[in-house]
Structure 1
Amino acid sequence: MTSFLRSDRSRAVAVWLFAVAALVLAMIVVGGATRLTDSGLSITEWKPVTGAIPPLSDADWRQAFAEYQQIPQYQQVNRGMSLEAFKTIYWWEWSHRLLGRVVGLAFFVPFVIFAVRRQIPGRLYVRLALLFVLGGLQGLIGWWMVASGLSERVSVAPERLTVHLGLAFALLGALVWTGLDAWAGWARQTLPSPWGRRAVTLTLLIYVQILLGALVAGNDAGLVYNDFPLFAGKLFPDDYAAGGVWATIAHSQGAVQLHHRLFAYLLTVVAVVIGWSAWRSNYLAPESKLLAVATAGAVVFQAVLGIATLMARVPIGLGIAHQLVAAIALCLAVAFAWRVRRI
């Protein structure tokens, strides 16, 4: 029995997974800064290996700038941009892509070492392999997103941005859950209570709100209707409909902002009710109660931060903070959903 208890968990593997999760969180933050500075289209080619080397000479910089000058964003938005200004947006995008490569290496190299040393609990191999595949897919989706803004658009397609960001947050949550499993080992006994469903529901609601926020970001919808709680003094945005169901859901600035606001109200109420109920419960462990309250607190703070970000017309600092707190709220919800299932 002692051998089993030791073989189904590894604190070293858990620390590694938490470290990778921290890198993914950093990549989400840098990705947010890249979007807010309109830097994502500054590199017009996808070179997974050689792209890690930035321009090293004046000729290299002029070539990279010449390639950027061929796309609609430069021609319609940034015409006349100086080379020095281009270097600023280039470094943001290059840093984002470099961090993606670092995340891949930080996952793959320790995985091989732990596997060779047989330190990985056997039950986690399939899950870790899936995480590695999804991480590689994230790189492809990132380029698929960028490619949408290189020929006909001046920015990336909002739905592709949503897929890209959604997968990043899914990877973050999966890394946190798997790290907790590696740290604590297989659950010997689970709670036969409604709390597992409540915690998972809260986690899913937070994730859906993140996706709705990605549509707001992809449509620059935070730059319109900057009063609150109204929309330019009205209860409903004038430009809600956009010529079709999908066009409205994915491309209408008024619609995506309305949906994000309404879902925020729902999420905040649910989070507060669950947090309050968990705190008063005689059934939950103290750790579960604290995680429930922390998740509710993060959701409320995120709602207030979202209002401030909107009314300030999305300054870079507040925009980055809004995305960071969303990630923290999701991680807390994942930890709550994981912990509440255990005695």
Structure 2
Amino acid sequence: MPFDVPPSPAPLSRDAADRQAIARWLLAVAGMVWVMVALGGATRLTGSGLSIMEWAPLSGTLPPLSHAEWQRLFDLYRTIPQYQLVNQGFGLEGFQRIFWLEWSHRLWGRLIGLAFLLPLIWFWVRGRIPAGLKPRLVVLFLLGGMQGAVGWFMVASGFEADRTAVSPYRLVVHLGLALLLYGVLLWTAMTLRHPERDAPAAAAPLRRLAHPTAGLVVLAMLAGGFVAGLKAGLDYNTFPLMDGRLVPAGYAMLSPFWLNFTANIAAVQFNHRLLATLAGLCALALAFWGARVLPAGRARTALLALGGTVALQYALGVATLLLVVPAWLGTLHQAVAVAVLTAALATLHALRRPRTA
């Protein structure tokens, strides 16, 4: 018997094809930013971030090519407090171990810049960028360049007297800008791939919970930046209590009170736990709610992904704390945080309010 051959899908229009191509490019760059965030976590946890004391955007692309150059950079590193107070006596070989991780981190940042700039020029010259998108792409490129400058601004704070790590405030700014860059890349790509606003009618009440949930996710991530900057995860390594208490005794020890939110280890860790718990409960409520009322489709999938990634991230956070922050687990915790942000943004995008006529 002859087989019925299904009709071939209609070819995409030129405009639709351009949108899909640009979306794939932006998703690839977003993936590189995700890797960059993980590399940043690894450099921080291994103390590698201060090993390169020169800001050389072009010449710094190449690693040291001679023993004399290695020795020169090592001599520079030996002048800062981190070497004198933490790593004194670990020799040139020890310096090379931390140098390679920081060099890889910076090289990856340069590759992200090229991965964005070269296709941008190609799409622009060939007239394949949809109307209205050019300003956003230019802003994204400028954000990427700003991220490199902020990164050096952060690293330079670690060279100051009596410091063995970078400023927590600058670390949070650097992390926040990376998350903003990632978020705009991802949102733009999703809008190009799914320009329609086709959330089911049952999504309306879910939308009212999704926005504060996403806000809690972002706040928990920024609070995690202060935990990282203060090395607060090395204290209070029990869960759910902190030194036998739900709220640690030293929560409000600093004056003025607001300083506790950014400079008090007890308060910073408690706030991160609290925000993560609230974000987790809201995300799980959204996932269960969405599974019950939404039909199969993009919105339902995004909500289930948000619930799953939040549960995984929470478990990783507790394990990281109980094991006193091993570098590999801390890096994984930071990487999965971006997965949570991805799921939160995908949820907001899939639940967008339909346009009125």
In the superposition, the TM-score normalised over structure 2's length comes to 0.90
Structure 2 match to 1:7: 15
Counterparts of 1:161-200 in structure 2, within 5 Å, are: 161-184=171-194, 186-187=195-196, 193-200=204-211
Determine if contact 1:157/1:218 at 8 Å carries over to the other structure.
Answer: yes
Deviations along 1:85-106, one digit per CA (max 9) or x if unpaired, are 0001111111111111000110
User: Judging changes above 3 Å, is the alpha-carbon distance between structure 1 residues 228 and 63 closer, same or farther for their aligned structure 2 residues?
Assistant: same
Aligned counterpart, 1:73:
82
Task: Report how far residue 176 of structure 1 moved.
Answer: 1.0
Residue in structure 1 matching 2:279, options 255, 259, 267: 267
Q: Which moved more, 1:241-250 or 1:19-28?
A: 241-250
Distance 1:108 1:338, change over 3 A: same
Partner residue, 2:7: none
Q: Distance in 2 between matches of 1:225 and 1:298?
A: 25
Give how far 1:238 is off: 3.3
Question: Number of residue pairs matched?
Answer: 340
Q: 2: CA distance between counterparts of 1:169 and 1:342?
A: 24
- Whether the 8 Å CA contact 2:233–2:321 is kept in 1: the answer is yes
Aligned equivalents of 1:52, 1:273: Cα separation in 2? 47
Please tell me the root mean square deviation across aligned C-alpha atoms, in Å: 2.1
Match of 1:209 in 2: 220
SS in 2 for 1:123: coil
- Kindly indicate whether the alpha-carbon contact (under 8 Å) linking 1:121 and 1:182 is maintained by their aligned counterparts in 2: no
The superposition leaves residues 250-307 of structure 1 with CA deviations (integer Å, 9 ceiling, x where unpaired) of 121111100001111111111111111111124x662211110110111111111100
Given residue 288 of structure 1, which amino acid in structure 2 is its aligned partner?
A
Match of 1:306 in 2: 317
Distance 1:326 1:217 in 2: 13
Counterparts of 1:1-343 in structure 2, within 5 Å, are: 6-7=14-15, 10-152=19-161, 153-184=163-194, 186-187=195-196, 193-240=204-251, 241-282=253-294, 286-341=297-352
- Secondary structure class of the residue paired with 1:209: helix
Return 5+ residue gaps in structure 2 as ranges.
Answer: 1-9
**Change beyond 3 A, Cα 1:72–1:246:** farther
Q: Are the equivalent residues in 2 in contact too, given 1:191–1:342 (CA < 8 A)? A: no
Residues 177 and 13 (structure 1), Cα distance of their counterparts in 2 relative to 1, 3 Å cut: same
| Distance apart, 1:207 and its partner CA | 1.1
2 CA distance for matches of 1:249 and 1:333? 25
In the superposition, relative to structure 1, how do residues 6 and 285 fare at CA in structure 2: closer, same or farther (>3 Å)? farther
Report which stretch shifted further, 187-196 or 286-295. 187-196
Distance 2:137 2:200 in 1: 26
How far 1:244 sits from its partner (Å)? 2.9
- What is the CA-CA distance between 1:189 and the residue it aligns to? 6.0
Identity, % of aligned pairs? 45
Report the residue type matching 1:259 in the other structure.
N
Distance apart, 1:327 and its partner CA: 0.5
Separation (CA, whole Å) in 2 of partners of 1:230 and 1:83? 43
Q: Is the 8 A contact 2:232 2:268 kept in 1?
A: yes
1:6 positional shift: 4.7
Amino acid in the other structure paired with 1:212: A
Q: CA deviation at 1:5?
A: 6.7
Could you report, residue by residue, the CA deviation over 1:158-181 in whole angstroms, capped at 9, with x for unpaired residues? 111011011111111111111112
Following the alignment from structure 1 to structure 2, what is the Cα–Cα distance between the partners of residues 126 and 222? Answer: 41
